[in-house]
Structure 1
Amino acid sequence: MGRSLRTVGTFEAYQNQAGVLVRNYVLADPYIPYTSIFLGMLTCKLAYELSQLISTFYSRNYNALTKTQRMDWNNRGISTLHAVFISIMSLYFVFWSELFSDQNHSAGLVTFRNSSISTFSLGLSVGYFLSDLAMICWQYPSLGGPEYVLHHSLSAIAVAYAMYMGEGQLYTYMVLISEITTPWINIRWYLDVSGLKKSTAYLINGVVIFFSWLVARICLFGYMFYHVYRHHNQVMRMHIFGSLLVFVVPVALGIMNLMWFGKILKGMKKTLSKKT
């Protein structure tokens, strides 16, 4: 009984020490940008290795792929993990958190609001974008062409600025909600390389991509532009580079989203015409 109590006490002591470490270093304001980016990159590395390990033993389709395709397979595992995480955090901060709420008048200008958690989450995202951009450039153009390099570069710069400067984090999270479409894009690729392009799952996936893209990458961008218009005076009080990012980056990403949406619409029409 005494040994059991000592074990519990020791566990609680280590737990308290871990909590102090997290508060004083990982989530301490001066260290958040560095620890979050590092943890983001480390998570990407671990996710890649884990995807490779699991897929090698449990997926016959994976072992039949080329070396480049296997790298793409594992890389999409990373992007899916990031997309799920940042989509949840973005939806929370944009629609449910009081941090950026217009009703929270005591918090000051919405363009300058931030918190340790919001900054830390953006840092993890920066770590992902830098890691993925490095892999795309290393294997260029196998993992993506110039549009992917441009997309990731703009995203990394905008997210990093919002993280370091604490400005425009609300608009950064609005744009990052678009990552909710990424898992469905990856699933489509997995189905394709697995020889299931003519399956019902592939058709359903295409429909989900169409509607999720329409909502998250078209309609939501429209809402963001409307929000910027309503809070124009607050946006203009940001640093000139921050204001430029708020106007330029979403417009550039929005144009790319419209171009990709045109391809999605064309592909869905072609698929549906074959089914009928």
Structure 2
Amino acid sequence: METRELSVVAGSFVGFQLLFSVVSPRLSLVVTPDYKRLPPTKLTEWNSRLVSTVHALIVGLFCLYILWFDDDVNANPVWGDPNLVKLNVAITCGYLLYDLVLLACNWSTMGDSFFVCHHLAALYAYGYVLTRGVLPYFANFRLISELSTPFVNQRWFYEVLKYPRSHRMVVLNGVAMAVVFFAVRIAVMPSYWASVFVTFGTPEFERLGLGAQVAWITSCIALDVLNTIWMYKIARGCYKVLTGRGGRKVKDDSDGSFTADKKHANNHTD
């Protein structure tokens, strides 16, 4: 890994930590006065989700820019010029490390084994992108999934502020969350895997070596399994609300309905 990428990883780790501990509390008090009335555990998760939303917007929009305008990456998805992608991936790796530390420090209230597996699988795969500059197109494609994160976090914000599930804003956000989550994480699977299969047996694929090949394929399978599980929970909850079976009572989702998980649904990085 080059010095630039290490600096970006470290800088983003520190930046997200400052956003969590300094910026989020002050900004949240201005935007939502009810923030100060939340219990300590909810305050921690609130700040964590705000950081998650900021990261998702930065990385997700950067991904779209690369997808639309970086001709070198799109022309050679395995060995194209990885500079912009490595920068984006380094930001994400810094975020993932920050979030793993946060989860470890607050495991009793925020810990979730799904997300630990998600983070480790992503770091394992992105490590090859940062150290060898390989698979830039595919790494960038996976990060587009972050565009669903703000809707997932907004769902939680509404719930902790005790908005009824039948509230218009809650319903609209929930539908948007289900649609966007499906679009950027599920609907893209066929085209993504088609692009993967096309590379099999090519000289570019062989140059990767067994280690990078295994990291690439296994991490993608693991992440897509997790995305499918979360999509099922979101779709089930969305169906309940739209058909009037979700009720008006606000409570923590014991079954994960209408959210990506029941605790720490940051909907982190693919």
TM-score bracket, shorter-length normalisation: 0.7 to 0.9
CA offset at residue 30 of structure 1?
A: 3.5
Provide the C-alpha distance between the structure 1 equivalents of 2:245 and 2:105, rounded to a whole number of angstroms. Answer: 39
Residue of 65, 86, 98 corresponding to 2:59? 86
Residue of structure 1 equivalent to 2:10? 38
Q: How many residues were matched structurally?
A: 242
Provide the C-alpha distance between the structure 1 equivalents of 2:205 and 2:192, rounded to a whole number of angstroms. Answer: 12
Which contiguous aligned blocks of 4+ residues in structure 1 show a shift greater than 6 angstroms? Answer: none
Q: How does 1:34-183 map to 2 (within 5 A)?
A: 34-48=6-20, 49-102=22-75, 109-183=76-150
Provide the C-alpha distance between the structure 1 equivalents of 2:82 and 2:62, rounded to a whole number of angstroms. Answer: 13
Provide the C-alpha distance between the structure 2 equivalents of 1:241 and 1:219, rounded to a whole number of angstroms. Answer: 28
**1:266 and 2:233 are equivalent in the alignment:** no
Provide the C-alpha distance between the structure 2 equivalents of 1:243 and 1:149, rounded to a whole number of angstroms. Answer: 22
Residue of structure 2 equivalent to 1:203? 171
CA offset at residue 34 of structure 1?
A: 1.2
Provide the C-alpha distance between the structure 2 equivalents of 1:135 and 1:202, rounded to a whole number of angstroms. Answer: 28
Alignment-mate amino acid for residue 116 of structure 1: N
Secondary structure in 1 aligned to 2:212?
helix
Residue of structure 2 equivalent to 1:105? none
CA offset at residue 56 of structure 1?
A: 3.4
TM-score, normalising length from structure 1?
0.82
Show structure 2 runs of 5+ residues with no match: 247-270
What CA deviation, in whole Å up to 9, does each residue of 1:26-64 have, x standing for no partner?
xxx931121111111122022112001222354222111
Residue of structure 2 equivalent to 1:216? 184
TM-score, normalising length from structure 2?
0.84
Bigger RCO (CA 8 Å, 6+ sep): 2
Provide the C-alpha distance between the structure 2 equivalents of 1:184 and 1:267, rounded to a whole number of angstroms. Answer: 14
Residue of structure 2 equivalent to 1:193? 160
Residue of structure 2 equivalent to 1:251? 221
Alignment-mate amino acid for residue 229 of structure 1: F
Maintained 8 Å contact 1:62/1:70: yes
Alignment-mate amino acid for residue 202 of structure 1: V
Provide the C-alpha distance between the structure 2 equivalents of 1:144 and 1:81, rounded to a whole number of angstroms. Answer: 21
Provide the C-alpha distance between the structure 2 equivalents of 1:130 and 1:221, rounded to a whole number of angstroms. Answer: 26
**1:242 and 2:209 are equivalent in the alignment:** no
Alignment-mate amino acid for residue 261 of structure 1: M
Provide the C-alpha distance between the structure 2 equivalents of 1:31 and 1:116, rounded to a whole number of angstroms. Answer: 13
What CA deviation, in whole Å up to 9, does each residue of 1:56-105 have, x standing for no partner?
35422211111111010001111111101111121222333202223xxx
Provide the C-alpha distance between the structure 2 equivalents of 1:141 and 1:111, rounded to a whole number of angstroms. Answer: 41
CA offset at residue 250 of structure 1?
A: 1.1
Superposition RMSD in Å: 1.8
Provide the C-alpha distance between the structure 2 equivalents of 1:209 and 1:54, rounded to a whole number of angstroms. Answer: 24
Between structure 1 and structure 2, the one with the greater Rg is: 1
Alignment-mate amino acid for residue 127 of structure 1: G
CA offset at residue 262 of structure 1?
A: 0.8
Maintained 8 Å contact 1:32/1:116: no
Provide the C-alpha distance between the structure 1 equivalents of 2:46 and 2:85, rounded to a whole number of angstroms. Answer: 30
Provide the C-alpha distance between the structure 1 equivalents of 2:82 and 2:233, rounded to a whole number of angstroms. Answer: 38
Give me the identity figure in percent: 22
Distance 1:119 1:141, change over 3 A: same
Secondary structure in 2 aligned to 1:101?
helix
Maintained 8 Å contact 2:128/2:134: yes
Maintained 8 Å contact 2:28/2:35: yes
